[in-house]
Structure 1
Amino acid sequence: MDMKPPPRKGADFCSLRYGLALIMHFSNFTMITQRVSLSIAIIAMVNNTQQHDPPSASTEGSLTDALHHPNRSSEDFKTRASVYQWSPETQGIIFSSISYGIILTLIPSGYLAGIFGAKQMLGAGLLISSLLTLFTPLAADFGVILVIVIRTVQGMAQGMAWTGQFTIWAKWAPPLERSKLTSIAGSGAAFGSFIILCVGGLISQVFGWPFIFYIFGGTGCICCLLWYTVIYDDPVNHPCISAREKEHIVSSLAQQSGVLSSLPFVAAASCTILGGQLADFLLSRNFLSLIRVRKLFSSLGLLLPSLCAVALPFVASSYMTTIILLILIPGTSNLCDSGFIINTLDVAPRYASFLMGISRGFGLIAGIISSTTTGFLISQDSESGWRNVFFLSAAVNMFGLIFYLTFGQAEIQDWATERTLTHF
Structure 2
Amino acid sequence: MLREDEGNDARDGSDESSDEKTAFLGSRHSAHSEIRGSPGARQPCCQTRHVLAFISFLGFSIVYALRVNLSVAMVVMVNHTSSSETTNSKVCPVPWHNVSQPAVAPKGPQYNWDSKTQGWILGAFFYGYIVTQIPGGYLADRYGGKLLFGLGITCTWLFTLLTPIAAEMGVFYLILVRFLEGLGEGVTFPTMHAMWAKWAPPLERSQLISFSYAGSYFGTVVALPLSGVLADTLGWPYIFYICGSVGVFWSLGWYLLAFDSPKKHPYISAIELKYIQSSLHSTQSSQKPQRVPWLEMSRSGPVWAICISYFCYSWGFYTLLNCMPMYMNDILHFSIEENGFLSALPYLFSWVVMVGSGLLADWLCRRKVFSTTTVRKMFTLFGLGGPSLFLIAVCYVGCNSKLAVTFLTLSLVAGALSGSGNSINHLDIAPQFAGILLGISNSFATIPGFLAPLAVGYLTSNHTLPEWQNVFYIASAVSVFGAVFFMFFGSGKIQKWATLDPIPCAKASGFLQKLK
Deviation at 1:12, TM superposition (A): 5.8
CA change 1:398–1:121 in 2 (3 A) is closer
Which residue of the other structure, out of 313, 321, 329, is the alignment partner of 2:301? 321
**With structure 2 as the length reference, what TM-score do the two structures score?**
0.57
The one-character-per-residue Cα deviations of 1:303-359 (angstroms, maximum 9, x if unpaired) are: xxxxxxxxxxxxxxxx93333323333332223247777678276252554333111
Matches within 5 A, 1:6-405: 6=31, 8-9=34-35, 11=43, 13-47=45-79, 81-253=108-280, 254-255=283-284, 320-337=300-317, 345=327, 348-350=332-334, 352-381=339-368, 384=371, 387-388=374-375, 390-391=377-378, 394=381, 398=385, 401-402=388-389, 405=392
Cα distance in 1 between the residues matched to 2:47 and 2:149:
22
Deviation at 1:396, TM superposition (A): 6.8
CA change 1:27–1:343 in 2 (3 A) is closer
Deviation at 1:394, TM superposition (A): 2.7
Aligned residue type for 1:140 = A
Cα distance in 1 between the residues matched to 2:304 and 2:264:
33
Conserved? CA contact 1:377–1:389, under 8 Å: no
CA change 1:236–1:103 in 2 (3 A) is same
CA change 1:374–1:142 in 2 (3 A) is same
Aligned residue type for 2:313 = S
Gaps of 5+ in 1: 51-77, 264-318, 417-424
Give identity over the alignment, percent.
30
What SS does structure 1 have at the residue aligned with 2:276?
helix
Conserved? CA contact 1:129–1:158, under 8 Å: yes
Aligned residue type for 1:326 = I
Deviation at 1:242, TM superposition (A): 0.8
CA change 1:380–1:386 in 2 (3 A) is farther
Deviates more, 1:123-132 or 1:371-380: 371-380
Deviation at 1:403, TM superposition (A): 5.6
CA change 1:407–1:219 in 2 (3 A) is closer
Aligned residue type for 2:284 = Q
Aligned residue type for 2:332 = A
Conserved? CA contact 1:173–1:249, under 8 Å: yes
The one-character-per-residue Cα deviations of 1:370-399 (angstroms, maximum 9, x if unpaired) are: 112112211212763652453365357556
How many residues align? The count is: 329
More helix by proportion, 1 or 2? 1
CA change 1:97–1:385 in 2 (3 A) is closer
The one-character-per-residue Cα deviations of 1:137-164 (angstroms, maximum 9, x if unpaired) are: 1222222211111100100101012221
CA change 1:152–1:410 in 2 (3 A) is farther
Conserved? CA contact 2:56–2:212, under 8 Å: yes
Aligned residue type for 2:267 = C
What SS does structure 1 have at the residue aligned with 2:259?
coil
Cα distance in 1 between the residues matched to 2:390 and 2:159:
41
Aligned residue type for 1:372 = L
Cα distance in 2 between the residues matched to 1:207 and 1:137:
14
**With structure 1 as the length reference, what TM-score do the two structures score?**
0.69
Q: Identify the structure with bigger relative contact order (alpha carbons < 8 Å, sequence gap 6+).
A: 2
CA change 1:414–1:229 in 2 (3 A) is closer
Cα distance in 1 between the residues matched to 2:376 and 2:218:
24
CA change 1:224–1:44 in 2 (3 A) is same
